[in-house]
């Protein structure tokens, strides 16, 4: 089978299954894992999929919201590195807010057990922080979205209107320099919009797959962000453009 034909079939499999492992594809096409990784790299460059830890996921350009399982296996090294970089800004006595993104959940796992108040709409974040005796956890409540295990809706948004925080850590589905920050889920976008409005300093936790993507619902612009936390494989031209807009760009290292 020619490489181009194999890549077309891989793209169709990923689109149909929403996610696939390198080892699975290597076995199916009877080629080496490294051959599949090169195929995935090429398909990602063409915007046909997004590589994940050990495999690939369907590209989400305004499509459906990824499940917690899908998000848990995508870009794991990058998310872990971003979380390690971001947790350094959290200090004793802070009021912190985290959204329901998988990158923010990586951060939550690293937050030390010090006197803090943490607001969140993430059920998973509540479960993790609930075991730490020095952290006061405030949950938005609202309607539970099963895809993301997060609380959404008018009650969650109304609750946020009564609060103010020092630091907000959030992510998104897409970042476009003209369109702004966007999310595939309208309800999640509304929550993030409210979060931005009540925070002093917003940290956007993102890897390279988010840039150049316009998802369904815009919830803010890059002017709403103070600091972008990303990893070293982001295009230097994008980093320069972010800094030209006046944003702080913090580069996280994936090496431990």
Domain ranges of the chain: 3-59, 76-252
pLDDT of residue 218: 93
pLDDT tens sequence across 165-223: 999 999 999 999 999 999 988 889 999 999 999 999 999 999 988 888 888 889 999 99
* pLDDT tens readout for residues 39-91: 998 887 776 776 766 777 766 544 556 666 666 657 788 999 999 999 999 99
Query: Number of helices (H) and strands (E), helices first, in the chain?
Result: 10, 15
**What does DSSP assign to residue 143?**
E
Q: Which residue has the tokens 């990586």?
A: 106
Local structure of 34: helix, strand or coil: helix
Q: Please state, in angstroms and rounded to a whole number, the distance separating the CA atoms of residues 174 and 156.
A: 23
Residue 2 per-residue DSSP state: -
CATH architecture of 3-59: Orthogonal Bundle (1.10)
- The model's pLDDT over 225-241, given as tens digits with 9 standing for 90+, comes to 999 999 998 889 999 99
> Would you say the C-alpha torsion 181, 184, 190, 192 has a positive or negative sign?
negative
User: What is the fold of 76-252?
Assistant: Rossmann fold (3.40.50)
- Asked if 195 contacts 172 with a C-beta cutoff of 8 angstroms, the reply is no
């Amino acid at each position: 089978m020619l490489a181009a034909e194999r890549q077309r079939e891989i793209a169709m499999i990923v689109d149909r299954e929403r996610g696939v492992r390198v080892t699975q594809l290597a076995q199916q096409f009877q080629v080496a894992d490294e051959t599949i990784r090169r195929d995935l790299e090429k398909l990602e460059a063409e915007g046909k999929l997004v590589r994940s830890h050990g495999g690939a996921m369907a590209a989400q350009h305004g499509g459906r919201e990824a499940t917690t399982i899908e998000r848990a296996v995508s870009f794991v090294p990058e998310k872990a590195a971003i979380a390690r970089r971001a947790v350094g800004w959290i200090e004793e006595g802070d009021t912190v807010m985290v959204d329901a993104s998988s990158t923010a959940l990586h951060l939550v796992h690293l937050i030390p057990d010090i006197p803090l108040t943490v607001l969140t709409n993430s059920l998973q974040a509540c479960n993790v922080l609930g075991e730490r005796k020095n952290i006061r956890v405030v949950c938005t409540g609202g309607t539970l979205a099963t895809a993301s295990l997060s609380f959404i809706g008018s009650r969650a948004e109304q609750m946020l209107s009564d609060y103010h925080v020092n630091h907000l850590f959030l992510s998104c589905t897409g970042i476009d320099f003209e369109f702004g920050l966007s999310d595939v889920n309208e309800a999640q976008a509304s929550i993030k919009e409210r979060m931005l409005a009540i925070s002093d300093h917003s940290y956007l936790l993102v890897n390279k797959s988010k840039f150049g993507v316009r998802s369904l619902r815009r919830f803010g612009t890059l002017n709403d962000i103070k600091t972008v936390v990303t990893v070293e494989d982001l295009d230097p031209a994008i980093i320069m453009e972010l800094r030209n807009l006046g944003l702080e760009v913090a580069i996280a290292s994936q090496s431990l």
